[in-house]
Structure 1
Amino acid sequence: MEKTSWHVLSNGEYLTASSKLSMALDEADAVLIGVGAGMAAADGFTYAGPRFTQNFPDFIEKYRWLDMFQASVFEFENLNEEWSFFSRFVDLNYMSQPLGESYIRLKELLEGRNYHIITSNADNAFEKAGFDKNKVFDMQGKYNLLQCSKGCTPKRYNNEELMKDMIDRQRGMKVPDDLIPYCKECGAPMELNRRNHTDWMVEDARFFKEQKLYKQFLQEYADKKLLILELGCGYMAPQVIKHPFQNMTENQSNSLYMTVNLKDYSIPQNIRNRTIWLQEDIKDLLLNIQQEQQFTKMNFYETEQ
């Protein structure tokens, strides 16, 4: 297929970051969005700093953890202590996590466009913001779900009521024995539904439906003018979003790879001519676009009057 040119590449040299993103969105036939931890952090949902120290002071005092990433892969002394931590973790990062302003702005920005989202975040940000669940692929699992630690059954179970009970009844960094969940099929301990260091997790019918819809989107727009937009994706799990997105850009000559990240990550040489790196804070970037669009609409309305 003949290669399609992107005006934002040839004419965007002196544009602001927000104008480049707006222009690319308007040019695209469809938008593929990859969302990583940087997007959550932009809205203040960080795994370090006061958010961590204020919610886990007892664990930090005992184990000298530096952040929730370190804590979430820690080998606990027993299941009672493990679930004392993870019940608070799930509440903080799923059940009680507030509505993210950037997610609302992203939803408004995508209104009326053909898009699909893949995320490595396991929180509730997209649900809370009211995104169409059939357009979001939670590749790395969900904090509000449990799975058998041995994977004996392809089932995931909601854990929210259990987490609330654990929070209410935990004492001295431990939950009571009767609250520790075990698999009803094989008796093994249950754990949070999240992809571990061996790249494994339980994947149920809902997961495979999300995966199918995601693949259908990729197939539908494989030869179209596709904006591949990466928001806050780093190298903690590059095999989930970053590397597939870069490979897609290389193999689809009509695609444009746009990455938004404050950190300086190397771009493969063979896609640099179809890459735009916006070294911007995601929250500020989306706010600027929203304000620019509101200003444009206001001027249009005044002109029409």
Structure 2
Amino acid sequence: MHKSIQIAQQWIKDSDAVLVTASNGFSITEGLNLFATDDKLHEVLGGLEQTYHLQNLLAAISYDYPNELDKWRVYARITEYYAGHYQPGEVMDALKAIIGDKPYFIWTSNIDHHFALAGLDNLLELEGNWLEGICSSHPKEHGTYNLKEQLHQIYLKDQQGTLQKNDIPKCDQCGAPLTFNMAGKDFQMNQNQVAAFGNFVQRYQDKRLLVLELGIGPQNQMIKAPSMQLVAGTENSRYITINKGQLNIPTVIADRSIGFSSSILDAFEELRTGKDLGIKIEGPAKAQPKLTPEQKKAQNETIKLFFPSYMVMHGIRPGELTMYLTTDSQHQSHFHLVEQDQTWMYSLGDATVAHCFTRDGKYYRVHLGLDKSKKQVHGFYIEAGTVVAFESLEDSGAGFAQISGSFPENASNEILIPKKENLKKGFPQYQEMIERLAVGD
């Protein structure tokens, strides 16, 4: 048996909980490829594929149809085929066997809802799913709708040739047409899922947590980056990634990581049976020298002042990975100087306010979030030389706010702390804020 397979099996056996992260590669293994142009596309969409020159399922979902009935015909045909008729495949069954009776959570950007349909209900669907709808006129105010049965009825009437305009799903509060609740400007993330995910991570982050990553390419940083950050910041966690052809294991977690460059099914077969099928396997690497307990404590306490959720040890730095910063009412990000240009984006939870003091003596604030009616933006750019601090706006009831920031690889990664008294002199009208969010003298 390959030594890495044996180690991976032991990690699975010894884990206290399993966090499964999954993206398009997992869906493809289950028979759904959003990007494929093939005979199945015509089988699912029928003549609508040629009518609108639809190249793949993703284009079919996002197309701006001039005919509202055709839009719902497309939606219904897709969901009937891939959700209504869905039966878990070999890879889903194998995943459930690996999880066994351990506590688990699924963190996915897939919109197919297959995990829930297979009975894996502990789930965070980061980009929503195509069985859920929102009001096209008041997406936030009027909540979400389960469209499963309505989509099935639309499909049946479509096949019978009896579909009419009054069959289009409508908001029961204002009568406006519904639309899919998926990633976009009106997307409403399921806050129950968000809270459950936060509770899971909180409960198991200091225990033997196994992160099992399935079909996530190196370019997909929405889940990959923060999950690697989670492993980097929790000493007892382990990381197994399966992705054919492309593996990305940062040095900082290489000693606790194993990568299978293969199909998910082949990797699962090796993990289940212990047989060496000749798969290319990376890791675990030899452990690097560790900081002393005193060094770890000092580093962690300093970093938490500026990046409250940045619970990172082993010397990981913001320039190596996209940083996911989480704040709440008790844990704000304190004022620090931006050494090089940065971009920050809204990710999860409540909206975030960024307090910015520029080097030419101006103050401005930016609200990062999804509610445009409150002048919230999805992302913004900070110029070098700006002093910034972040706070949660606590506007959606999530109890926390998460944003993601990109850092240039050539940054020094030092945290530069402005003098509190200098800030007060330069911005006397913001004395209270500076006192609250600045550290040091």
> TM-score, normalization: structure 1?
0.78
Instruction: Tell me if 1:41 matches 2:28.
Output: yes
What is the rounded CA distance, in whole Å, between the counterparts of 1:138 and 1:103 in structure 2?
Answer: 17
166, 188, 191: which is aligned to 1:202?
188
Partner of 2:16: 29
- Cα displacement (A) at 1:97: 1.7
The letter for the 2-side match of 1:185 is: Q
Partner of 2:180: 192
Partner of 2:396: none
Partner of 1:296: none
Write out per-residue CA displacement over residues 228-256 of structure 1, whole angstroms, 9 at most, x where no aligned residue.
Answer: 111112367532x2121122122223322
Partner of 1:182: 170
240, 244, 247: which is aligned to 1:258?
240
Q: Which has the higher contact order (CA 8 A, sep 6+)?
A: 1
Equivalent residues in 2 for 1:57-72 (5 A)? 57-72=46-61
Equivalent residues in 2 for 1:1-305 (5 A)? 14-15=2-3, 17=5, 19-47=6-34, 48=36, 49-131=38-120, 133=121, 135-149=122-136, 150-170=138-158, 175-196=163-184, 198=185, 200-203=186-189, 207-234=190-217, 238-239=221-222, 241-292=223-274
The letter for the 1-side match of 2:50 is: E
Q: 1:36 to 1:254 in 2, by over 3 A?
A: same
Q: 1:235 to 1:278 in 2, by over 3 A?
A: closer
Asked if the contact 2:105/2:123 (under 8 Å) is kept, the reply is yes
Deviates more, 1:100-109 or 1:45-54: 45-54
What is the rounded CA distance, in whole Å, between the counterparts of 1:193 and 1:41 in structure 2?
Answer: 22
Unaligned runs of 5+ in 1: 1-11, 294-305
What is the rounded CA distance, in whole Å, between the counterparts of 2:61 and 2:45 in structure 1?
Answer: 12
SS at match of 1:146: strand
Write out per-residue CA displacement over residues 235-279 of structure 1, whole angstroms, 9 at most, x where no aligned residue.
Answer: 67532x212112212222332222111141544444344332211
Q: 1:165 to 1:35 in 2, by over 3 A?
A: same
- Cα displacement (A) at 1:141: 1.9
Superposition RMSD in Å: 2.8
Show structure 1 runs of 4+ deviating over 6 A: 171-174
Q: How many residues align?
A: 272
Asked if the contact 1:230/1:258 (under 8 Å) is kept, the reply is yes
The answer to which structure has the higher helix fraction is: 1
Asked if the contact 1:94/1:123 (under 8 Å) is kept, the reply is yes
What is the rounded CA distance, in whole Å, between the counterparts of 2:140 and 2:200 in structure 1?
Answer: 31
What is the rounded CA distance, in whole Å, between the counterparts of 1:236 and 1:87 in structure 2?
Answer: 31
Write out per-residue CA displacement over residues 191-213 of structure 1, whole angstroms, 9 at most, x where no aligned residue.
Answer: 122222x4x5224xxx3332222
Structure of greater Rg: 2
Write out per-residue CA displacement over residues 115-140 of structure 1, whole angstroms, 9 at most, x where no aligned residue.
Answer: 22212223242233333x2x222332
> TM-score, normalization: structure 2?
0.56
Q: 1:105 to 1:88 in 2, by over 3 A?
A: same
What is the rounded CA distance, in whole Å, between the counterparts of 1:173 and 1:194 in structure 2?
Answer: 28
Asked if the contact 1:43/1:283 (under 8 Å) is kept, the reply is no
SS at match of 2:221: coil
What is the rounded CA distance, in whole Å, between the counterparts of 1:155 and 1:34 in structure 2?
Answer: 27
